[in-house]
Structure 1
Amino acid sequence: MFLLILFFFSLLSCSCASVQDFCVADLSLPHGPAGYPCKNPAKVTVDDFVYSALGVAGNTNNLIKTAVTTAFTAQFPGLNGLGLSLARADIAVGGVVPMHTHPGANEVIFMVKGTITAGFISSANTVYLKTLNEGDTMIFPQGLLHFAVNSGNTTALAIVSFSSPNPGLQFLNYALFANNLPSELVEKTTFLDDAQVKKLKAALGGTG
């Protein structure tokens, strides 16, 4: 019995060669459902685990006055296989992060500065809405539609984390108006009139 106990503890304390500490993405190989293949450990460097782009403000000179800088596996190879990723959101005055969803991840947003009004809609169509200020944190559960609007008078900055290295993204407006889905079908499924649908398609680059 003593020998069995000793063997058990030796297994717990051993430095087993089969343990894999990380799987830095080999971006030269195709991405699959389980992520990227692992880079040869002999070629892994500390730079694979360091990413500096989130320290740089994004360009908000666009239609939605918002810039999102991502730290997903493709930009930050050390995240591969670890089940998380990050992003930086710069939202100018009057800016908006339109209604969207991440099919593959929960999201946590942390307000670094400024003020936004943010919320999500449950599958029961219940709205969870809050004004967030510096230091506030909010959770958006996986797959639910959510959004953010700058409701302050200065540029807002938020750091976002996801429970996946590749959370996926679908904007509701772009899904409806930025492709070749026929206008008549958009009108029937959204109850919008023809003029409004065509105006939105023209603004977002859709056809049909």
Structure 2
Amino acid sequence: MASSFIKSIPFLLLLAIAKATDPDFMTDFVVPTNSTENGAIDGSFFSFTGLRNVVNSDYPQTFKVTKATSTKFPALDGQGVSYSFLQFPAGAISPPHTHPPLTELLLVLKGRLNVGLIDTNNKLYKQTLRAGDMFVFPKGLVHFQSNDDPKQPCVALSAFGSADAGTVSIPRNVFSSGIDDGILAKAFNIDVATIQKLKRGLAG
């Protein structure tokens, strides 16, 4: 019994990976459930104007992400692509996070941005990007972006290999998940008071 289960593990892993990516479909595009016929679809369905105000707005006070995903842009459903518009005021960061199991391709549009990723051997790869530079974050790897300039803002555009990026923020995922303070203290080899201080910082 156990032997047959073990033999089925590769298949189950492949099935899980397949279900974690955008599904293939047999039509030109996915018609939303509230549209009964293709005739109800016109050119506006394939257009997204949600970044107009963001692109022309003043810089925010904190790091801001504006997403063009299938939630807001239904034409992306099943297409395996999406965008995020990233605004970094001076000194802002996008904390360590991951997009399992997606690839991210980042393009800096303005300013400078320090980026880094950590592979599965815990090796850090980092780079300073200028306007026009690109950086790829391989599937599912933890990565970050940081505008270390104390005066100048930075703007970037990220493309994803899915209609929804599915971001998992490492600090919030760990410290806002409800894991017992004692377990976290042991895991990070620090005291419970420090863990509680970190949690309060994330709640602010």
TM-score range relative to shorter protein:
0.7 to 0.9
Match of 2:63 among 51, 66, 70: 66
CA distance, structure 1, for counterparts of residue 44 and residue 189 of structure 2: 51
Is there any run of 5+ residues in structure 1 with no aligned partner, and where?
1-18, 29-37
Greater radius of gyration (CA): 1
Which amino acid is the alignment partner of residue 139 of structure 1? V
Point out the structure with the larger helix share. 2
CA distance, structure 2, for counterparts of residue 55 and residue 133 of structure 1: 23
CA offset digits 1:22-72 (Å, max 9, x no partner): 11444x6xxxxxxxxx863122122221112223337733xxx20000001
Is there any run of 5+ residues in structure 2 with no aligned partner, and where?
1-25
1:179: Cα distance to partner? 3.0
Q: How many residues align?
A: 175
Percent sequence identity over aligned pairs:
29
Any residues of structure 2 matched to 1:1-208 within 5 Å, and which?
A: 20-26=27-33, 40-57=37-54, 60-61=60-61, 65-152=62-149, 153-205=151-203
Q: Indicate the structure whose relative CO is greater, using CA pairs within 8 Å and at least 6 residues apart.
A: 2
Judged with a 3 Å threshold, the aligned counterparts in structure 2 of structure 1 residues 81 and 154 are, in CA distance, closer, same or farther, namely same
CA distance, structure 2, for counterparts of residue 39 and residue 155 of structure 1: 45
Q: Does the residue aligned with 2:185 lie in a helix, a strand or coil?
A: helix
CA distance, structure 1, for counterparts of residue 120 and residue 200 of structure 2: 30
Judged with a 3 Å threshold, the aligned counterparts in structure 2 of structure 1 residues 163 and 183 are, in CA distance, closer, same or farther, namely same
Does the CA-based 8 Å contact 1:104-1:167 persist in structure 2? no
Does the CA-based 8 Å contact 1:104-1:164 persist in structure 2? no
Structure 1 stretches of at least 4 aligned residues deviating more than 6 Å after TM superposition = none
TM-score, scaled relative to structure 1: 0.78
CA offset digits 1:127-180 (Å, max 9, x no partner): 110001100000000110000010223111001100011221111100111232
